[in-house]
Amino acid sequence: MPALDDTLAQKISVLESKQQRRVLQQTEMVEGVYVLRGGKKLISFSSNDYLGLSGHQDVVAAAHAALEKYSAGAGASRLVSGNHPLYAQLESTLAGYKKTDAACIFGSGYLANLGAITALVGKGDLILADKYAHACMLDAARLSGATLMRFAHNNMAHLRMLLEANRTEHHHCLLLTETVFSMDGDRAPLGEIALLAKEFDAWLMTDDAHGLGVLPHEQNPADIQMGTLSKAAGVYGGYVCGSQALIDYLQTSARSLIYSTALPPSVVASAAAAVNIIATQPEIVAKPLANARYFTELMALPEAQSAIVPVMLEKNDKALRAARLLEENGFLVVAIRPPTVPENTARLRFAFSALHTREHIEQVVPLLKGIL
């Protein structure tokens, strides 16, 4: 039997041959949209800090104050002794913004999906997930023991067909989609999905990781609204918003909540400050989408639906070469390759921030056109 390291070396070699090996690159945020990588200062178009709130003075001040007053750690899980009073403030603010009865904070978006989905459905139930739903939704679906089926991306005819063919054979049915898809930047037709959920007695759960704080706030028809505090909120953590009954149930049934140490008080405090900014300053929220649309206008691409704009290059080597050339010229735009995206859909993923200026966009566009 091959030794562990020999086996892993072979697996790494296969990944390298496919140009799919990942390597952690040391990257340091400097100021605004600027980062340091390899000793070089770059303008980043690869951060999900859509509003620049990770460096906002109110967010940083909230973290400092909580750190000095409450110490660095939470000490235990939320159900033991880690449920700091700051959680109530954050959950109340978030539920109010989302227009739901209540909210529950998890350690991360991954843990929120893992905890909620596995608590809500299991063997004998049905999950129908969009083909492009995030990996953590799919991991949770598989772990739940429910029957998992995938419907073609944003294809309501296919979703209806799967519901008609399979719904009556299962007890509960959960529909999973993102509000904004993380790699393509397009939006889900939530109204249509919600109507199908009602017609077929199914529950709708949305992942709003890339929608919160980026899109104009609208009423979400989903029964279960999940999202993160690590993107537009600029901090860390995940959440689920919904009815009081939903939150009460998750607090006693979601294993990723029960068996995880709580977030540090400084993180909770800074997240509450960030959500308050998102809820009260719509002029900041409008900027990432405006910047993305300016970029698509200059690039003659379809109008951006969110802060995310993919520039499709298909082949891994072409995407890696384009990313390298951009970095050599002062821009960080990471190449996204399979298995994160389907085969032959490698791309440069541009993520726009409220802190990007028109000058930043006007500098990168001619360079990108020259590379393409």
Whether the ω angle into residue 288 lies within 30 degrees of 0, i.e. cis, is no
169 is catalytic: no
Residues 6+ apart with CB under 8 A from 3: none
Does 210 qualify as catalytic in the annotation?
A: yes
- 60 exposure class (CB count in 10 Å sphere: 0-12, 13-18, 19+): middle
3 state SS of 329? coil
| C-alpha 98, offset from chain centre | 17
| Alpha-carbon span 182 to 295, nearest angstrom | 18
Element housing 126 (H / E): strand 126-130
Is residue 316 among the annotated active site residues?
no
The one catalytic residue among 178, 184, 186, 208: 178
Active site residue 182: yes
Question: Of residues 44, 46, 47, 48, which has the active-site annotation?
Answer: 48
Q: Point out the catalytic residue in the list 210, 287, 356, 360.
A: 210
- Pick the catalytic residue: 231, 287, 356, 360? 231
Neighbouring C-beta atoms of residue 96, cutoff 10 Å? 14
- Of 54, 154, 182, 291, which is the active-site residue? 182
112 within 8 A of 239, measured Cβ to Cβ: yes
Q: Exactly one of 56, 134, 356, 360 is catalytic; which is it?
A: 134
**Euclidean distance between CA atoms 217 and 204, whole angstroms:** 19
134 labelled catalytic = yes
* Cα 163 to Cα 196: distance, rounded to the nearest angstrom: 9
In terms of DSSP bridges, do strands 173-178 and 203-207 run parallel, antiparallel, or are they unpaired? parallel
Which positions are catalytic?
A: 48, 134, 178, 182, 207, 210, 231
